[in-house]
Amino acid sequence: MKAWSMRELALAAVFAVGGPIVASAQDMQAGSVTGLPVPRYVSLKTDRVNLREGPSKEHRTRWVYQRAGLPVEVTAEFETWRRVRDADGAEGWVLHSLLSGRRTALIAPWSKNKEENFPMRSAAGEDGAVVAKLQPGVIANVGSCANTWCRVSVGSINGYIRQERLWGVYPNEKVD
């Protein structure tokens, strides 16, 4: 199976409330400010990030994120502001300086069973030894993704997890 780059991405799953919404590669464009692909995943730099109704500090704060490293999806750019969507489907505007290009992902945030665990393996494949079991909502640092598996780390533990179990990486996206 071919691993797709961001620009070649055939399908990008955008998880909103109720399940995946599929956006085609034709929907991905260069951002009007940065020239980077839109949509794209980034993460929050700090433990306090205001999600605003519009692209200025005069707009009302809808939500305050309090989790550095949380992945969000950039869906638009306007001057120093980025419209983002989180794993729950909430959308709003964030000042670009509060975002990082560091790739992170949430482990299966759509899972209704909070007791469910997802295996992190020693190698990219079902035959790799389980090195950790990750609960839904855990933030993992994404090192790389290829062939439906991603190399991730949580704290000092490194391993591989199926790409489909992550929110913060597009299906078949190749991450280097």
Domain of residue 42 covers: 31-102
Last residue within a domain, chosen from 84, 102, 120: 102
- Are both 45 and 96 inside the same structural domain? yes
Domains contained in the chain, number: 2
- Alpha carbon 37 to chain centroid, angstroms: 14
The pLDDT of residue 27: 59
The average pLDDT across 34-40 equals 92
Q: Clarify whether residues 91 and 146 are in a common domain.
A: no
Render pLDDT for 94-107 as a digit per residue (tens, 0 to 9).
999 999 999 999 99
Structure confidence by residue, pLDDT tens digits, 107-116: 999 998 878 9
What would the mean pLDDT of 141-149 be, rounded to a whole number?
96
Give buried/exposed letters for 145-164 (b at 16+ CB in 10 A, else e).
Answer: bbeebbbbebeeeebbbbbe
**pTM value?**
0.82
Residue 36 shares a structural domain with residue 98: yes
pLDDT digits (tens, 9 = 90+) for 64-87: 999 999 999 999 999 999 999 999
Last residue in a domain, options 69, 102, 135 = 102
* Cβ atoms 96, 42 nearer than 8 A: no
35 and 93, same domain (yes or no) = yes
**Are 156 and 114 part of one and the same domain?**
yes
Q: pLDDT tens digits, residue range 127-138?
A: 999 999 999 999
Q: Are residues 35 and 96 in the same domain?
A: yes
Q: For 72-103, b where at least 16 C-beta lie within 10 A, e where not — what string?
A: bbbbbbeeebbbbbbbeeebbbbebebbeeeb
Instruction: Residue 54: give its domain's CATH number.
Output: 2.30.30.40
* Domain assignment of residue 20, yes or no: no
**Structure tokens belonging to residue 119:** 């295996």
